[in-house]
Amino acid sequence: MAEARELLPLVQSITKQHQAELAPVQLRLNKMLSSDPRRNVVEAEYEAVVTRWRHKIEKLGATVFGLWVVEFDVGEGLLSWRHPELQLAYFRERNSDFASRIKLNDYIESHDPDWAHH
C-alpha cells in the first residue's frame, strides 16, 4: 500500500497529461459523423494516446482497469483509483466490476489486511 501511495502522484501526473492530450481528440470525434472518411485517422490518434498512457502506467507496475482507472495489486484485491480522485480511497476485490469498489478505509477496518500495515 505504501508503494502505491508513493506512485500515485506520478500516476496522477501521467494521467492528467494524457487526459488533456486526449480531450481535443475526443471533441473532434464527437463532432464527426460515423461515415466521415477522416474518422479512422482520428480514431487511430485516440487509440495512440490511450496506448501511450497504458504503457506508462504499466511500466510503473500498476494495472489499467479502464480509461483513467488505475489499480495496484495488494494480493487479496486491488487498490483502485480513477482520475480525478485525489487519493487512493477505494478497494476492489478480484473479478468484481468497477461499481463494486468499496471505500478503502471500510475494507481495512472490517478485514484488517496485512498489507495495510506496511
- Are 68 and 76 within 8 A, CB to CB? no
This prediction has a pTM of: 0.91
Under DSSP, is residue 35 helix (H, G, I), strand (E, B) or coil?
coil
95 phi and psi, to 5 degrees?
Answer: 65, 15
Domain coverage including residue 110: 2-117
Give the DSSP letter string of 42-94.
HHHHHHHHHHHHHHHHHHTT-EEEETTEEEEE-SSEEEEEETT-SS--EEEET
The count of domains in the chain is 1
For position 118, what pLDDT does the model report? 72
Q: For residue range 78-107, what is the model confidence (pLDDT) as tens digits?
A: 999 999 999 999 999 999 999 999 999 999
User: Cell numbers at residue 46, please?
Assistant: 485516440
pLDDT at 1 > cutoff 90:
no
**Amino acid identity of 8?**
L
- Are 107 and 115 within 8 A, CB to CB? no
